[in-house]
Amino acid sequence: MSGIQTSWPPGTECVAKYNFQGTTEQDLPFSKGDVLTIIGVTKDPNWYKARNPVGREGAIPANYVQKREGVKSGGKLSLMPWFHGKITREQAERLLYPPETGLFLVRESTNYPGDYTLCVSCEGKVEHYRIIYHNGKLSIDEEEYFQNLMQLVEHYTKDADGLCTRLINPKVMEGTVAAKDEFSRSGWALNRKELQLRKIIGKGEFGDVMEGDYRGTKVAVKCIKHDATAQAFLAEASVMTQLRHNNLVQLLGVIVEEKGILYIVTEYMAKGSLVDYLRSRGRTVLGGDCLLKFSLDVCEAMEYLEANNFVHRDLAARNVLVSDENIAKVSDFGLTKEASSTQDTAKLPVKWTAPEALREKKFSTKSDVWSYGILLWEIYSFGRVPYPRIPLKDVVPRVEKGYKMDPPDGCPPMVYDIMKQCWNLDPVARPSFRLLRERLQQIRAKDIYL
């Protein structure tokens, strides 16, 4: 292993592949699955100096750990790499050639729209099994029923159960990568057996957010059960593996369960969303210094995204969480994309989205700056809904004519000036997050909170 690991700089995260007891007092013992941070090299290139999550430091053997990498195949990651969509019976047979017993794929049924077909190579020929969609469940023999294709495939990989053979080897669709394999390869796969789910702390259209425990650490867990939704959330998880900043909610890892459930495990944020925090405490509890600190926390996270060419697209106080130590952290990377891509605007939050993003689907760091101006207004109004007393249908026409919200009661004029600069109709004229952060720091240095 010598010579390979020496390129890992201090700050690199790695995951333990094996247990290590340590043989001297200088060693740092660890268990398989522990996340360690490299803090330096040793005289021996086969050993690193590292720190564990509770701050203990020591030497670790390089060949016992795997570097954690960002997952970069976002669009190509698949929970169902064996699903080939709309292909014909003949195309399926060509894909399963040369014959290999147990090689399989699933396609959409050509004869029965809405149903699927399981195609399995068995003793030199391909068998086609119709998967019937009945009362929201799937079945081949109308004896066993499954919630989704992943559950069905999982069942028949364990037992042939009436098929010509059990499913042994998936024929992966060209251009896709099995999500489970990719998260394992890059060091982000967690062990389901070590995750305990405690209680529901939030509900969304995609599934529940639960408080959990992973190896003694309190965590938040998004549990996503539906095929298509889980597939969409893979992109969020893969984006989160590439981002690390104290003001971004940190991904701890991902569990892809065979039964078709995706768990996204993140750090636990004890005080909930910023908008609820502001509303429940109000101006009697939160002083100007606290509001300015939240503003800066979010700005620093967004400056980091800006520097790394990521666009958040859904920045709002509801998508910022507050930790036990009162640190605000940006979350919800469901819409985050590498800069300069477009998306469907039907589901966008109108009051927070820049005019050019609504009109032309043009998303950029500058459209995030517009949203940040709205978020500042939310902070200084203690969580009020933006554009009060204006009907939703009138917001966009008025904004496009140059309308800007009045300052919230008690908002410092210098902060309101920043909001107005964020709401410039010309995206090019809006300040960068770096400039916004510098201005907020100047306000803080002058001690001008009120």
Binding residue ranges:
222
Return the closest-CA partner of residue 331 out of 297, 308, 367.
297
Report the alpha-carbon distance of residue 430 to residue 15 in Å, rounded: 41
Sequence ranges of the binding site for ATP: 222
Q: For this structure, is 314 an active site residue?
A: yes
Among the listed residues 297, 314, 332, 368, the single catalytic one is 314
Instruction: Answer whether 230's CB lies under 8 Å from 79's CB.
Output: yes
Cis omega before residue 98 (within 30°)? Answer: yes
349: Cβ contacts below 8 Å, ≥ 6 apart: 314, 316
Q: Is 203 left (phi over 0), alpha (psi -120 to 50) or beta?
A: beta
Residue 400 is which amino acid?
E
Residues annotated as catalytic (active site), given as ranges: 314
